[in-house]
Chains A and B, each alone.
Chain A
């Protein structure tokens, strides 16, 4: 059998431009994780249901296990690593997750953090009900979601410059 043909693709990840030659069938999740070694993005189901692999494409949450990497030429990608502060510390959503004990095993967490990061751009002060709705497309097997709902609200508070409450 012949060697797979490679396709040229360019995009930026967390502000860093990348040029890659990859097979057309390579999933964005695999490209991020194994080609760029940004392993913060996790793969839980490979069929777009669990949301663990959610990254932001031009700011919008997308399941990277359902995207061929070659199809996003020119796109700005944000992964969980890009949700940190510029000095690499915890960003507001990440800090809120820690404050609220919104993670246990941490495997689904990156998908929640990217999802919530995008959501808070649209809704700066969600109610508990809205917060629950915002995360209702991501699966978590550890936390029962209660503390993740709290973390959404806490993150909104931190983003607005709020400190300890």
Chain B
């Protein structure tokens, strides 16, 4: 099964309309709507709810004043870091000040959403306006502050270095400086967030469904905020309509407010985020400005690299410094940078919070490194592929220590990879060496084409751990649970493939559950391309334990030696014998025997009762060290992340008149170690590339100077349709990871990482104009042409 293109077990349910997403649940629940700040920065003077009170169907209106206990405290700072000296988080409902358009101020609960919104509209909030700080340039001047007690708007300042980079650059034969920028975008899953809470007053327990990437941690957060014993709270993740990072943040204000309201009201309460709410009150990412200084030798080999960048973290920092830490470390890609120094400043602005979006800081880092290498190639008149090749870490240098600390607090050590082989594959796939002939042909037809490439390394499968629980039922079916959640990645299929192989049971007898705290209490979550590595390894290890136990029990039943047994197609048998023959026992029957019974619940269970067979009177029915049931739990906790890598090449055509940018070809070479299901991996790459294309050519968050998000709709935020996304051509390389039992690496985020870098490279190649900021629209390219033309004329005049 491992390595096979198995069709997904999730799909039959989803394609017939039988999915269960958050808003498909709780039809009879009360519904909540929120009054959100229309101002980016203001003090709340007064909240007047009088007009809303006579709305028929209104149930309750809550403001900060109504909150109690730990609900009155700011939401948790999830990932503290010593350099995050000025971390700030928001309140579930704004206490006195709002810091972005969209911040929740009032929660209205009513019979349905229509009525809740009617009432919310009748709530009047009066404000004292404060100056809005929008954009990195404004934030770093610090003329106005987002938080009064955060000088310079600086949340954090961090430096990592492997030596004296400036000295290395100063003595290098060549050096360059570049300014590089990436704008804001966002995860934008098709389903927004949503929460449904049911308080059972008789049982004093809370059941919460939430569209999250981490149900176990939401559970802990809710219990803490509502001062409930953790074992009185369960959190279930239903089908989730995409996450891409935004749903790893928790608890969102609504994730604690909805359960809090359900407890107060003694009724089910639900909130389903609408699209505008998602734009203005979820999370964004990507916005960073970078300054690069690089020194290199005559061959284009890096001698020193110094990068300073400014990260716009929005109004609060609940997710800590993960994004800029990833940029600063993963920027290095597959290269040896010489001496490296990186510093970043994380700045507050009066905009939506910034937390990881697929790629999580890597697209920016990749853009910086790859644009730098292209600039070196241009400066020295070298082939861009050659400059890359000369700076690659070689396979024999693995494991390779970059000398930095990664996002998991552990050393940045690449475990495996063969970058020259990947580059070779990419050049062949795209026809790199034949491109000049194609360009000449195109030119004869009056067409302008260009080619670009970009390489990345992605730390995947970060710890601390994930676990698995596997039980063989007495009917021979196998139930598998892992604590992390799924948002469409095909985890149920992928994990079942692993268990099928490890345990020797048919794929369709395996049922996998994810993200349900009733089934598995200990987990971290789904992010950082970690499920195959973490939960995959955990369920493989668990399956091995179950297999050992099955063999022990079967050996006794078959009066055979464990070493002579195998499990094939759900039967334990003496090696070489067929199913159903003597010397074979069904796994379901082994499960029966694993649980010594006093009471038989059916005929097959009679085999495990106390008079069914003679027993050793000197041994207890459950031997020391054993436990009833054919089941096991195990955990996988890696020493450090495993590093996947890949390379993309893009061919673009630019319209000489309109500056329209068309992608003609998009080629990917991808190395995520051993591949569990190529169909699923390729699907992940396709989707990642589409988001990369969106980020490179279309998607940006248009904030005006007063902090209004001008394009907070799908009409104005341009996510690519089928007409904008190219067909992706893929080749794989598989260099197994030595760090985990399956030799796998993560694959979820990869596709998006080099998009802006590769497309910028191709546009630059087509146009002969330096591309230093992304995304780029046709009108921006047109203006670059005008500027370049003017500069060209000026230079011509100067030389005349």
Contacts and interface: CB of A to CB of B under 8 A. Distances in A.
Contacts of A39: 17, 19-21, 23-24
Interface string B242-265: 101000000000000000000000
Nearest to B243: A105
Interface string A37-72: 111111111110110100000000000000000000
Interface in A135-163: 135-149
Given A81-B17, A139-B714, A141-B189, A33 B12 contact: no
A73 to B, nearest CB: 21
Given A47-B275, A147-B683, A141 B244 contact: yes
Given A101-B7, A103-B15, A139-B190, A146 B275 contact: no
A39 B387 CA distance: 54
B17 A38 contact: yes
B714 A141 contact: no
Interface in B169-206: 188-191
A97 B11 contact: yes
Contacts of B21: 39, 42, 107
B16 A136 contact: no
Count class of interface residues, chain B: 35 or more
Given A81-B17, A98-B7, A145 B713 contact: no
A107 B54 contact: no
A28 interface: no
Interface string A5-42: 00000000000000000010110000001100111111
B55 interface: yes
A120 to B, nearest CB: 15
B241 A138 contact: no
Q: Majority SS of interface residues in chain B?
A: loop
Interface string B1-44: 00000011011101111111101100100000000000000000
Contact of A98 (B15, B188, B686): B15
A77 interface: no
Contacts of B10: 106
Contact of B191 (A23, A38, A42, A145): A42
A138 B488 CA distance: 18
B54 A1 contact: yes
Interface string B67-104: 00000000000000000000000000000000000000
B749 to A, nearest CB: 13
A2 B56 contact: yes
Interface residues of A, number: 63
Interface stretch (B430-438, B508-516, B722-730): B722-730
B218 interface: no
Contact of B686 (A4, A43, A107, A146): A146
A141 B27 contact: no
Given A144-B686, A144-B687, A25 B114 contact: yes
Nearest to B55: A1
Contacts of A105: 189-191, 239-242, 487-488
A90 B155 CA distance: 53
Contacts of A79: 17
A119 to B, nearest CB: 13
Contact of A101 (B27, B240, B680, B691): B680
A133 B240 contact: no
A99 B723 contact: no
A84 B728 CA distance: 31
B274 interface: yes
B189 A133 contact: no
Contacts of B18: 40
Contacts of A50: 190, 714
Given A37-B27, A108-B190, A143 B15 contact: no
B395 interface: no
B709 to A, nearest CB: 15
A50 B717 CA distance: 12
A147 B241 CA distance: 18
A106 B239 contact: yes
A98 B190 contact: no
A109 B14 contact: yes
B599 interface: no
Interface string A79-111: 111011000111000110111010111111110
A135 to B, nearest CB: 5
B721 A142 contact: no
User: B15, B275, B687: which has the most chain A beta carbons within 10 Å?
Assistant: B15
26 contacts: A40-B17, A41-B17, A44-B190, A45-B275, A46-B275, A47-B714, A81-B17, A83-B16, A95-B15, A101-B7, A101-B679, A105-B189, A106-B14, A106-B15, A106-B488, A133-B722, A136-B722, A138-B722, A141-B242, A141-B690, A141-B719, A143-B686, A144-B688, A145-B722, A145-B725, A147-B683
Interface of A: 1-4, 23, 25-26, 33-34, 37-47, 49-50, 52, 79-81, 83-84, 88-90, 94-95, 97-99, 101, 103-110, 113, 132-133, 135-149
Interface of B: 7-8, 10-12, 14-21, 23-24, 27, 54-57, 112, 114, 118, 188-191, 239-242, 244, 274-275, 487-490, 679-680, 682-683, 686-691, 713-715, 719, 721-723, 725, 727-728, 751
Top 3 A-B pairs ranked by shortest CB distance? A40-B17, A105-B488, A107-B241
